[in-house]
Amino acid sequence: MVTPVAVRELELDLDAFEGPFDLLLSLVLRDELPLRELDLAEIIISFIEHLHAKGELDLDACGEFLILISALLELKARAMFPEEEAELAELEPEEAAEELARRLAEYRRAKEAANWLRERLEERRDYFFRMGPAPLAPKSERKLAPQSPLKLVEALRGLAVEPPEPSTTHMALRFPPTSQFLDRWRALLRRRTRFDFDQEVAGLSRVEIAVAFLALLELRKQNEIAIAQAGPFAPIRISRADAERSLSWTAHSA
């Protein structure tokens, strides 16, 4: 097992062990030194004091040390609480040692890949570009041209004038009197026995057509006329009531 320089240089002086940290790892992995006899907190304190004495922070060494010490804590927990195997991992001590070595190798590969990517980025930094502005780029501010205060006053005065009242004359509906169409239909039926309503109201407005139809309904209510229509939307035929009765009687007699 290869450990970083900062970890290999770590000298330990514990109650159960005295020597370099990498030797301690070898003894633990070969089951020659029981983990339950080691105080892992003292190892962590020793590593921190070692980094402080060097006067620099080695992130790579710190990363691998965290993996090592966490694995040792896991192994020690299994050794101290064998009755709780259901809650802990099902790995045996030998398998746990292999898992520790695998994690270290995987961590080392990840660090090497990160270093390789960092080197490639430094080499090809000038080749990369963005299609749009950077996310943190300051927004451009639109600067107004110098304005005249007098023109601004004139504009405000124009806005302060009360607008004229909107005209609603075009919305007013003028209904002609119903009596106008009552007289018209009666005069027409005096000259003719029947007529088509659609032909007689051609050219009139919708309001006038509605009033003319109301006049027809009023004449029908008074039994002065008969209204007939062959089907929906078919022409409306208007005839005198006496002419309709006469036609009905003639057909019945025949």
Confidence category of residue 214, pLDDT binned at 50, 70, 90 = very high
Q: What is the pLDDT of residue 130?
A: 58
Query: pLDDT value at position 129?
Result: 57
Residue 2 has pLDDT above 50, yes or no: no
What is the pLDDT averaged over residues 131-154?
Answer: 74
Q: Is the pLDDT of residue 22 over 80?
A: no
Please tell me the least confidently modeled range out of 105-114, 151-160, 183-192, 214-223. Answer: 105-114
Q: State percent of the chain over pLDDT 90.
A: 12
Please report the pLDDT score of residue 250 as a whole number.
41
CB 209, CB 175: distance < 8 Å: no
Residue 117 has pLDDT above 80, yes or no: yes
pLDDT for the residue numbered 213? 92
Select from 18, 59, 53 the least CA-distant residue to 39. 18
Under the banding of pLDDT at 50, 70 and 90, the label for residue 196 is very high
The pLDDT tens digits for 33-73 are 777 777 778 888 888 887 778 777 777 777 777 877 777 77
SS3 for 32-52, per residue?
CCCHHHCCHHHHHHHHHHHHH
Q: What are phi and psi of 226, to 5 degrees?
A: -120, 140
Domain map (residue ranges) of the chain: 5-125, 175-253
Determine what percent of the chain is predicted with pLDDT higher than 70. 74
Inform me whether the pLDDT recorded for 185 exceeds 80.
yes
CA–CA gap between residue 223 and residue 167 (Å, rounded): 44
- For residues 201 and 52, which has the higher predicted lDDT (pLDDT)? 201
Mind listing the pLDDT tens digit for each residue in 63-79?
Answer: 777 877 777 777 777 76
pLDDT at 159 over 70: yes
Mean pLDDT (whole number) for 241-254 = 51
Contact status, residue 40 vs residue 73, Cβ threshold 8 Å = yes
Which among 237, 250, 243, 251 has a CA at the least distance from the CA of 193?
243
Q: What is the arithmetic mean of pLDDT over 205-234?
A: 90
Averaged pLDDT, 159-167: 82
Give the distance from CA 175 to its chain's centroid.
54
Q: How many CA atoms lie within 13 A of 54 on its CB side?
A: 15
Query: What does the pLDDT average to over 154-180?
Result: 81
Quote the CA–CA distance of 250 and 161 in Å, as a whole number: 78
What's domain 175-253's architecture?
A: Orthogonal Bundle (1.10)
Q: What value does the mean pLDDT of the chain take? A: 76
* C-alpha–C-alpha distance, residues 131 and 117, integer Å: 22
d(CA 140, CA 240): 84
